[in-house]
Amino acid sequence: MISIDKKRKFDWTLFLSVISLVLLGTLAIMSSTIMLDFRERVIRTHIIAVFIGIFAMLFMWVFDYNMLDEHSNKIYVFFLFLLLLVLFLGVADKGSKSWFRLPFFSLQPSEFARISLIIVLSSYLSKYPHSLNDPAGIIKFFLITLPFFILMAKQPDFSGILITCFPLLVICIVGGINLNYIYIFIFYLIIVLLIPAVGVIVNLNPDSLNSSIVYFLYTISYFNINSIIFILLTGIILFLIWMLVNKLNPLINISYFVIFFSIIFAGYLSGIFIKSQIKDYQYKRIESFIYPDKDPKGSGYNIIQARVALGSGGIRGKGLFSGTQSRLGFVPERHTDFILSVIGEEMGIIGVLIIIAAYTTLINRIKKIAVMSRDIFGYYMSCGFAGLFMGYFFINIGMILGFFPVAGVPLAFVSYGGSNIVASFIIIGILESIYTRRLMIA
Amino acid sequence: MPGYEKRTELIDLIYRVFYIILILFVIKLISIQIVNHSYYLTLSEKNRIRTISKLGPRGNIITSDNVAVAVNKPSYSIMYFPRENITDKYIDDMSLRISKVLSVSYDDIKRSISVSQKTSKPSKIINNLSIKSTMFFYELKNIFPELEIIEENARYYPYGNFLSHIIGYTGKIGENEIKYYISKNYSLDSLVGKTGVEKKYESNLKGGDGGLFMEVDNRGRLVNIIGFKQWHKGDDVMLTINYKVQKAMEDSLSKLPYKRGAAVCMDATNGKILGYAVKPGFDLNYFSSYRDDKKYEEIDEFNIPISGLYPPASTFKIIMTAAGLESGKISESTQFYCPGYYDAGNRVFKCWEKKGHKMLDLIGGLAKSCDVYYYNVGNLIGPYEIENMARKFRLNEKTGIDLPYEKEGKIFGPRARMSGKGYWFIGDTLNMSIGQGETLVTPMEMLMVMSSIANKGKFYKPYYVDSIVSSDDKVILRNEPQVVSEISLKDETYATLYKALRSVITDGTGKLADVPGVDVYGKTGTAQNPHGKDHAWFIAFAQKDGKNPIAISVLIEHGEHGSTAAVVARDAIKSYFLNDDHSDEIKLNTKKDIIIE
């Protein structure tokens, strides 16, 4: 059997990588808020959140995670209810009604609802392991996520939706989804994004309307007579292609073309819908991502200043509490979403590499836990959490490095944000629970 | 656990994608933080540091007799530096006192201070304070430490339209100069030299800029003061120009009823320009007050002494005399009869005196400027001798004075004609002999002729900047006299020339240039001008014991007769040799304590 030294009760590597992230993050938060009036409150809240988080982690660790499996539906419904409630009782901050204002702190229920979504999906997949192999299963899988996304969109919290896509994708892949569905989804996504993208292109460069393709897409980017013509034309063309192909090879099923048509149709309609939903500031973010110097004082300001902070740090940085970009307030959102540029400025590339190394260890460790887990439920859940942390990593760091448009996604464990920290610690607690019970028989 | 098994190859796939992206991130991170570090560091410094710059004042431009002709006019502003815990009452009190002491509007002051305090941005609250008020300011400063005085400098030319072509003027940096000056670390609100000495010695005249460096936050609010860099004044340029001579010549020119003219005066023993008067000049202060480029075009900046080409007319007879004497074909006693015309066979050449000068020797011929006498001389010595002598006197060479757009004269002679494949006629020789025809010279070249006769043969390179002296009295540059070429004439030639040129003044055409007590030698000239009235020439040199001889060249466009030009030369000679003249008008300023209200 397994030797005694492998029966470790607690995954210290996982925990220590988290603690190093939290320590660096706390230093950066303390430094970046020096000039802010509400500095003390921020630091106090942050430290309290870390302690609550550690406590919650220990609680989840002691707790058998299979209880989550049993009660996954109730948990999910409970958090959906909270998400519904926040739409009525919540307070708005930066245009999103995402917070409950409680006597001593604010609570963002979506952070916890996201965990419950991962739990419920893992539970579903572990109960119906082959469900992702057929379309009906996939549809059912996505129907589960639908209320969560609808409620999130209602707040609206698009960066919250964005970050949730990562664990979903990872769960789908490890759940053995036929990769064709992923390709179909990517194709659909391209069609969807094409429509708003045309708007961005035209905004950035009005001369591009001279190009006939851009002009055509621009005229059909909102619902009118042209769009009906477009849909009919697509249908007819696809039908003609099928007729042709059918002559050459009669074995090819028409259903491919029907699917193809439905994807274009659905993608196009969703594209029009999304375009009508996108707010001006979101367009600006995308524009400033593509071309930040277009409006360096306006929409491009954040990303330029964050980059300047990062770049001016050099190898060793300007020293703790000495970063001018962050201390003097040139970097916006410096204690939340742009915390990494503060670390880069004050601790240099060394600080940033420590963060990246700690994150990599964390994500790597989750994979180990997933593989070690005693059951498939723990496996799916761990994979989902790994996907979630990858999402934070990609979007937040990618945004600062310029790979991704500005999105309000924090760097979990490093950024300031009570709910996010507590929720992230809960995840670590669940993972520790999976780790500890890896050798027990369920 | 029944059912599905873990498909670890799928999660491996995901992790492979993760590591690829991770590597991309690290590469990008290195490119931002290490490769482009210095670029971003500069940007972050630019962000946080605001400078209240204090431009170092330009150096003065000073004449050889210590008159500052280009100075700085200080203007003062008061700045308010906001600090914490300032009450409204305090601001009220401060505004009230400032308005009383400096007699300015209470409301304006209060508004400026309040805005500055509210935004935490230091700002100027009073501009252009008079120099008297600055004394009262220090009382205020004792009570209100938030106030600070700032000195700024505008360029000022105390004598306005004076020596304009030499001094030049300053202006804001023009659009096409921005790149050049930015590369030289100029602040964009600096004044830079546009012409003349101001431009030529820009790098010396420019003061060292200083300023107050402050750390500000993202809203531009003062966080703390990082440092102060002391400015320093630029180097002074000492001209060779003599203020008295310059003033005398400009006054004299301005009294004449002719629109354009020029007079240049030079020390014959070293090439130092003592006076460089051009009419019409332009008011240099005009340029520091107007920034409109179109205005510049309205001004006549034509530099007559070096860019104007005129027939030398009778002044050429000096060269004829020298050529004749050197050839040995004529001497002081050579006589010719002037009936008022000269019969060249197929054509009759007239003398300017229709009645004729009767019998003349060389002295009389030059004194009376008799054309017929010089037709005979020309005929006797031939055109080659004349052309050679004109070349020796460098009439086809630039003088080398350090001014832009200098032109060289053109010698009209048989060699020049032959290179153009034309024929040379006897009539050409005669025309050449009296300085008409196609020979063209600049006043500067004629000045060199006179100076070389005065110093017996040396051609000095004319210069107008004597030295450059730094603000701590170190001599940075000193120009030394430079002999460009030498001409060797026989001693007898000089003796006869001196005698003849002297007689022009004593009993010839140049009587008006006579100054008692000074030996003046000169020659008038009246250049025929097909486009209007004749141009007037007068070139001269003068000497007196104890002082260096000076050479003068005067040209008055459409001045009709050489004697009008002689007046200008006389005034210059007087001012140089006789100290009392004009002295009541000249206030000598010492170099260091020039205060202009």
Distance CA B47, CA A265 (A): 50
Domains with residue ranges and CATH for chain B = 243-577 (3.40.710.10)
Q: Which residues of B touch A309 (CB under 8 A)?
A: 44
B291-345 pLDDT, tens digit each: 444 455 567 778 899 999 999 988 999 999 999 999 989 988 889 999 988 888 8
Distance CA A52, CA A54 (A): 6
What is the average pLDDT across B55-68? 89
Query: Which chain A residue's Cα is nearest to B18?
Result: A390
Enumerate long-range contacts of A130-139, CB under 8 Å, 24 or more apart: A130/A176, A130/B4, A132/A172, A132/A175, A132/A176, A132/A177, A132/A178, A132/A181, A133/A176, A133/A177, A133/A178, A135/A181, A138/A177, A138/A181
Q: Between chains, do B1 and A374 touch, taking CB under 8 Å as contact?
A: yes
Dist. CA B352–CA B474, nearest whole Å: 57
Which pLDDT band, with edges at 50, 70 and 90, does A283 fall under? confident
Contact check, Cβ <8 Å, A311/B29:
no
Name residue, tokens 């053109």: B410
Provide CB contacts within 8 A for B301, sequence distance 6+: B165, B195, B282
Looking at per-residue pLDDT, the higher value among B313 and B171 belongs to B313
Rounded distance, CA B411 to CA B435, Å?
Answer: 10
- Domain hosting A18: range is 4-177+279-439
A15 and A114 assigned to the same domain:
yes
Chain B residues lying within 8 Å of A411, measured CB to CB: none
Task: Judge if A224 and A300 occupy the same domain.
Answer: no
Closest CA to B403 of B130, B108, B138, B198: B198
Predicted confidence (pLDDT) at residue B464 exceeds the cutoff of 90:
yes
B4 vs A contacts (CB less than 8 Å): 126, 129-130, 176, 376
For residue A182, tell me if it sits in a domain: no
B215 vs A: CB within 8 A:
yes
Q: Cβ–Cβ of B48/A375 closer than 8 Å?
A: no
* pLDDT reported for residue B4: 54
Distance of CA A7 to the CA centre of its chain: 34
First to last CA, chain B: 100
Q: Would you state the structure tokens that stand for residue A349, as one six-digit string?
A: 């590339």
Q: Which own/partner pairs from A32-38 qualify as long-range (CB within 8 Å, at least 24 positions apart)?
A: A32/A323, A32/A326, A32/A327, A32/A331, A32/A334, A32/A335, A32/A339, A32/A342, A33/A334, A33/A335, A34/A321, A34/A327, A35/A327, A35/A328, A35/A329, A35/B217, A36/A335
Q: Choose the mutation target among B8, B25, B39, B50 for the interface with A, i.e. most A CBs under 10 Å.
A: B25
ipTM over 0.85: yes
Min distance A305 CA to chain B CA atoms (Å):
8
Is B587 a residue whose pLDDT tops 50? Answer: no
CA torsion angle A421 A427 A429 A432 (round to 10): -140
Q: Closest Cα of chain B to A290: distance in Å?
A: 16
> For residue B44, which residues of chain A lie inside 8 Å, CB to CB?
308-309, 311-312, 324-325, 330, 345
Q: Are strands B336-338 and B358-360 parallel, antiparallel or unpaired?
A: antiparallel
> Rounded to an integer, what is the distance from CA B135 to the centroid of its chain?
36
Q: How many beta-carbon pairs under 8 angstroms link A with B?
A: 131
A384 and A306 part of one domain: yes
Number of domains in chain A: 2
- d(CA B351, CA B343) in angstroms, rounded, equals 11
CB contact under 8 A, B223 and A328: yes
Residue B571: φ, ψ to 5°: -60, -40
- Nearest CB to B14; choose among A173, A360, A375: A173
CB-nearest to A330 from B15, B21, B47 is B47
DSSP B264: E
Residues of chain A contacting B43 with CB distance shorter than 8 Å: 308, 311-312
- Residue A312: its chain B contacts at CB < 8 A? 37, 40-41, 43-45
- Which tokens sit at A438? 């890896």
Contact assignment for A401 to B25 by CB distance below 8 Å: yes
Structural contact between residues A127 and A170, judged by C-beta atoms closer than 8 angstroms: no
Does A161 share its domain with A202? no
User: Quick count: other Cβ atoms within 10 Å of Cβ A244?
Assistant: 9
Which residue of chain B is at minimal alpha-carbon distance from A309? B44
| Mean pLDDT along residues B99-117 | 83
Q: Are B458 and B452 in contact (CB under 8 A)?
A: yes
Same-domain check for residues A249 and A291: no
Max CA separation in chain B (angstroms): 146
- Report residue B594's pLDDT band, with 50, 70 and 90 as the boundaries: very low
The whole-angstrom separation of Cα B245 and Cα A177 is 102
Nearest by CB to residue B21, choosing from A376, A394, A442, is A394
Cα A230 from Cα A271, distance rounded (Å): 14
**Chain A touched by B20 (CB under 8 Å):** no
Same domain flag for A292 and A264: no
The CA distance from B223 to the nearest CA of chain A, in Å, is 8
Distance CA(B527)–CA(B278), nearest Å, equals 19
Would A148 be classed as within a structural domain? yes
Nearest alpha carbon to residue A418 among A116, A113, A105, A155: A105
Nearest to A311 among B33, B45, B223 (CB): B33
Hey, of B19, B43, B46, B221, which one would you mutate to test binding to chain A, going by the most A CBs within 10 A of its CB? Answer: B43
Facing B10 at nearest CB: one of A174, A311, A315: A174
Where is B260: in which H helix or E strand? none
Task: Judge: B11–A371 Cβ closer than 8 Å, yes or no.
Answer: yes
B49: left (phi over 0), alpha (psi -120 to 50) or beta: beta
Beta strand extents in B161-311 (DSSP E only): 170-172, 191-193, 210-216, 222-229, 236-239, 261-267, 273-279
For residue A376, give the nearest of B3, B13, B22 by CB distance. Answer: B3
Q: How far apart are CA B165 and CA B250, in angstroms?
A: 12
**Cα–Cα distances in Å, from A47 out to A30, A437, B387?**
11, 30, 101
Is there a single domain that holds both residue A170 and residue A251? no
Tokens 């003592």 appear where? B274
pLDDT band (50, 70, 90) for residue A231: confident
Give the C-alpha distances (Å, rounded to integers) separating A273 from A164, A193, A268, A283, A385: 21, 11, 9, 15, 31
B216 at interface of A, judged by CB pairs closer than 8 A = yes
Of A225, A249, A277, the residue that ends a domain is A277
B10 vs A398: CB contact, 8 Å cut-off?
no
Alpha carbon of A383 to those of A167, A169, B200: distances in Å? 7, 10, 75
Distance to chain B for A216, nearest Cα, Å: 35
Structural tokens at position B2: 């029944």
SS (H, E, C) B455-496: CCCEEECCECEEEEECCCCCEEEECCCCEEEECCCCHHHHHH
On chain A, the residues whose CB falls within 8 A of the CB of B41 are 311-312, 314
Residue given tokens 């500067």 in the structure block: B444
In chain B, which residues have their Cβ closer than 8 Å to the Cβ of A367? 11, 15
Residue A339's alpha-carbon distances to A412, B14, B42, B113, in angstroms, are 11, 27, 21, 37
pLDDT > 90? residue A378 = yes
Q: What's the start-to-end Cα distance of chain A, in Å?
A: 17
Which range (A15-24, A219-228, A293-302, B337-346) has the least confidence? A293-302
- Sole residue written with tokens 């005034």: B571
Domain boundary among A277, A297, A319: A277
If asked whether residues A285 and A268 sit together in one domain, one would say: no
Whether B104 has a pLDDT exceeding 90, the answer reads no
Query: Rounded CA gap, B43 and A277, in Å?
Result: 37
Q: How close is the nearest chain A Cα to the Cα of B36, in Å?
A: 7
Q: Which of A277, A307, A331 is the last residue of a domain?
A: A277
Q: Give residue-wise pLDDT tens across range A345-362.
A: 999 999 999 999 999 999
Distance from CA of A394 to the nearest CA of B (A): 8
Nearest to A401 among B32, B47, B216 (CB): B32
The pLDDT-based confidence of B39 (bands split at 50, 70, 90) is: very high
Which residue of A328, A353, A379 is in closest CB contact with B218? A328
Alpha-carbon gap: A3 to the closest alpha carbon of chain B (Å): 22
Set of chain A residues whose Cβ sits within 8 Å of the Cβ of B24 = 403
Q: Cα–Cα–Cα angle for A328, A285, A33, nearest 5°?
A: 25
pLDDT at residue B23 in the model? 95
**Amino acid code (one letter) for B315:** T
Shortest CA distance from B221: residue in chain A: A328
Statement: residue B584 has pLDDT above 70? no
Same structural domain for residues A108 and A210? Answer: no
CA-to-CA separations, A219 to A225, A227, B265, in angstroms, rounded: 10, 8, 81
Q: Does A375 sit within 8 Å of B1, measured CB to CB?
A: yes
Give the pLDDT of residue B289: 55
Are A432 and A312 part of one and the same domain?
yes
Is the whole model's pTM more than 0.90, yes or no?
no
For testing contact with chain A, the best of B14, B26, B27 (most A CBs within 10 A): B14
**Chain-chain contact of A174 with B30 (C-beta, under 8 angstroms):** no
Same domain, A324 and A426: yes
Facing residue for A367 by CB, picked from B15, B30, B219? B15
For the stretch A83-105, pLDDT in tens is: 999 999 888 877 788 888 887 78
Is some CB atom of chain A closer than 8 A to the CB atom of B14? yes
The pLDDT value recorded for residue B1 is 42
Q: Taking residues A361-368, report their average pLDDT.
A: 95
Average pLDDT of every residue of chain A: 87
A183 within domain boundaries: no
Q: Do A402 and B216 touch (CB under 8 A)?
A: no
Percentage, residues of chain B above pLDDT 70: 93
Which pLDDT band holds residue A244 (cuts at 50, 70, 90)? confident
In a domain, residue A110? The reply is yes
B218-241 pLDDT, tens digit per residue, is 777 777 787 888 888 899 999 999
Whether residues A52 and A137 share a domain: the answer is yes
- Is residue A284 in some structural domain? yes
**Average pLDDT of the segment spanning B131-143:** 77
Phi-psi region of A436 (alpha: psi -120 to 50; beta: other; left: phi over 0): alpha
Q: Measured between CB atoms, which of A311, A330, A390 is closest to B32?
A: A311
Q: Which of A173, A311, A324 sits opposite B36 (nearest CB)?
A: A311
Measured CA to CA in angstroms, residue B250 lies from B262, B482, B572 at distances of 9, 27, 9
Q: Chain B contacts of A383, Cβ < 8 Å?
A: 11, 14
